Structure 1
């Protein structure tokens, strides 16, 4: 188990999490305290990340930037599209 040092940040306390924690700047984590254990949940942060990806993917549809099946085969055929 890795240790993380608690630091003073303004009038609050905080911790610095390693990059490989799967957390990005601005993510909002839920926490619960159970006896002497504090648990951080990534569930809502992951949902927000997925929601942002989905919304971004629909931007092309809203702009009418669509491709036909044949165009997709030409663009992505080398990756196996249309086989």
Structure 2
């Protein structure tokens, strides 16, 4: 288990999460305290992030900016995308 230092931020306390946590600036996390255990839940933040990506991707259709299936297969083949 990795240790995280609690720091004073104004009149509050805060923690700095390591970059590897995948949490980005502005992300809102669900917080829950069970006895001496503090739980930070990313589930809703992940869903909101994914929803935002999907909505943003559909904006391109308004301007006829999209790829055909062949173009996607060619562009993303290195990531394992196939037709």
C-alpha offsets along residues 19-72 of structure 1, whole Å, 9 cap, x if unaligned? 00110010000110001100000011101110110011111112233455xxx4
Q: How many residues align?
A: 78
Counterpart Cα distance in 2 of 1:66 and 1:21: 32
The 1:60/1:36 distance shift into structure 2, 3 A limit, reads same
Report the counterpart of residue 22 of structure 1 in structure 2: 22
> Can you give the 5+ residue segments of structure 2 that lack an aligned partner in the other structure?
none
TM-score by length of 2: 0.80
Rg bigger for which structure?
A: 1
The 1:55/1:76 distance shift into structure 2, 3 A limit, reads closer
RMSD over equivalenced CA pairs, Å: 1.8
- Asked if 1:60 is matched to 2:69, the reply is no
Report the counterpart of residue 46 of structure 1 in structure 2: 46
Give 3-state SS (helix, strand or coil) of 1:46's partner.
helix
> Can you give the 5+ residue segments of structure 1 that lack an aligned partner in the other structure?
none
The 1:77/1:17 distance shift into structure 2, 3 A limit, reads closer
